[in-house]
Structure 1
Amino acid sequence: MTKPLVDVDVMPALAFCLADELAPFSSRWHAHRKHQLLYSARGAMHLEVEQAQWLLPPQRAAWLRAGTLHRVRASQPVSLCTVYLEPKLVRAPPEGECRVFIIEPLAREMLLYSTRWGPERPPKEPVADSFFGTLAHLLPEWAMTAQDWRLPRARTPELRKAMAFTLEHLGESLLLEDVARAAGLSVRTLSRRFEEEAATTWRRFLHDARMLRAMELLAEEGARVTQTAYEVGFESLAAFTHAFHAFCGERPRDFRQRVARGAEPQVQGAAATRRRRAG
């Protein structure tokens, strides 16, 4: 997907859904004049905005505020289901550029149902207008459950190199010294760059990146928990299971099975876990 499938910004309807089956792709940086609810019913997508990046496996969606510069990529086929909403339809736009949240059963069904009204639908269609109006009213409530499953983005070329090197070697026994060498910085300078630019440590960046990559791998068809653990740099299945549960509130095996059958996530357990980690 090197260019938009359709120019969604010129469509006259106030709200519609863009649905498609896509092969692995990488979009350019772009923005829309409408709010965007980005969702994949099958396959994981990687979303980037100016200050952060997220993984969007099935059961998670992103609300992008109108005008937000972003890009999306996927390393596996995805079933795209994106709703576009004219800003005036939404009574309470999201704070910041993007909100990523767990899709509950009602939200999932509404998103899937919205595919009947594509970009070229008539501008005035009472049933569609009523449906998207209801979705627009519910959206702020859904976004209140936003989860902080994201990675920061770099502002300088050196930190960008360090992050890219880290992401490319998640399955290896990485040392900060190796990353600093790849970025052309001293260990002390690199540590300071992570703290000042990304408000985190390299160790936390590595851990979260491994967890997000694990979620992406587990969302693939035929995924195996043990193989996933090794692919993201864990030598012990027990250590991986503990880390994964602490990160997203459920065991990797439960996550894999839930995504495979399209079941709803354990929202309360995950939220409670995240609160404990934040505290």
Structure 2
Amino acid sequence: MPKPLVDVDAVEAPAFCLADELLPFTSAWHSHRKHQLLYSSQGVIHLEVEREQWLLPPQRAAWLRSGTRHRIRVSQPVSLRTVYLEPKLVRVPPEGECRVFTIEPLAREMLLYSTRWGPERPPRDALADGFFGTLALLLSEWASGAQEWRLPRARTPELERAMAFTLNHLGEPISFEDAARAARLSGRTLSRRFEEEAQTTWRRFLHDARMLRAMELLAEEGARVTQTAYAVGFESLASFTHAFHAFTGERPRDFRQRVARGSEPSLRAAASSSIR
């Protein structure tokens, strides 16, 4: 990634939006003194914090508390819109250091409109201050519906090796024993590591990783559902469709079409995915 043209931590304005057109890259671990709202209007972002990681396709945004160490990775061109907010503007911040939530129509329009005020805006601007003040007030409501579409991150090298092996072989018929060998641990020890460090099982980690990878692939231009199913390790389209619908509340075809046209998930889908 090229060096940023703007030092966002040096910007005097209490709130602004930075619009970036990103090519594939992985950022360094970093943090900012302002709160952040990350939103991709086109393309998919991988977001990682200390113990968790998320996939952010269009129609999903992330709240990052000020000072939260994170990094992002993109594997295709991304149109990133990041709103930075002074902590004092967010009177009731969402819980936790990071919250990922489905974008409502109002939130989407406000985030896109916020590009009117970039980092070069005057520190004092009544219209901009009013706009970002309203956005900050709505933030807690938006983030209250945070999605559980995420993966844990490892805290030890052994579990990191097992997770990395799994993520690198999502399209293959891998087994728990394969992951244990990659981690150089016994099966019993790896199972305990997943439970203690990640609060999940290896099989659940594999399943969720496959679903998140499928969402990423389906968000790409020209994506095909059948090819996506095989690319993430499913042997039949029917089993993939069933698993994807159970995970997201949408059929793969509907998800692909919605992302392509930039529309919102149906109320039924949103309700289904929110109860995972």
* Counterpart residue number, 1:86: 86
* Counterpart residue number, 2:159: 159
Secondary structure at the counterpart of residue 244 of structure 2: helix
Tell me, in whole angstroms, the C-alpha distance in 2 between the residues paired with 1:99 and 1:22.
Answer: 22
* Counterpart residue number, 1:221: 221
What is the correspondence of 1:92-241 to structure 2 with a 5 Å cutoff? Answer: 92-241=92-241
1:4 shift after superposition: 3.7
- Contact kept in structure 1, 2:248 and 2:272, CA below 8 Å: no
* Counterpart residue number, 2:63: 63
* Ranges of 4+ aligned residues in structure 1 off by more than 2 Å: 1-5, 266-274
- Contact kept in structure 2, 1:3 and 1:28, CA below 8 Å: no
- Residues 163, 3 of structure 1: alpha-carbon distance in 2 compared, 3 angstrom cutoff: farther
- Contact kept in structure 2, 1:36 and 1:83, CA below 8 Å: yes
- Contact kept in structure 2, 1:104 and 1:265, CA below 8 Å: no
Secondary structure at the counterpart of residue 188 of structure 1: helix
> Is 1:243–2:243 an aligned residue pair?
yes
- Residues 61, 218 of structure 1: alpha-carbon distance in 2 compared, 3 angstrom cutoff: same
Secondary structure at the counterpart of residue 101 of structure 2: strand
- Residues 127, 274 of structure 1: alpha-carbon distance in 2 compared, 3 angstrom cutoff: closer
What is the correspondence of 1:255-270 to structure 2 with a 5 Å cutoff? Answer: 255-270=255-270
- Residues 218, 161 of structure 1: alpha-carbon distance in 2 compared, 3 angstrom cutoff: same
Secondary structure at the counterpart of residue 55 of structure 2: strand
Secondary structure at the counterpart of residue 223 of structure 1: coil
Tell me, in whole angstroms, the C-alpha distance in 2 between the residues paired with 1:268 and 1:19.
Answer: 32
Tell me, in whole angstroms, the C-alpha distance in 1 between the residues paired with 2:32 and 2:146.
Answer: 21
Secondary structure at the counterpart of residue 141 of structure 2: helix
Tell me, in whole angstroms, the C-alpha distance in 2 between the residues paired with 1:164 and 1:71.
Answer: 17
Structure 2: gaps spanning 5 or more residues: none
- Residues 36, 241 of structure 1: alpha-carbon distance in 2 compared, 3 angstrom cutoff: same
* TM-score, L = length of structure 2: 0.98
1:268 shift after superposition: 4.3
1:68 shift after superposition: 0.4
1:51 shift after superposition: 1.0
Percent of residue pairs identical: 80
Tell me, in whole angstroms, the C-alpha distance in 2 between the residues paired with 1:49 and 1:244.
Answer: 25
- Residues 273, 42 of structure 1: alpha-carbon distance in 2 compared, 3 angstrom cutoff: closer
1:21 shift after superposition: 1.1
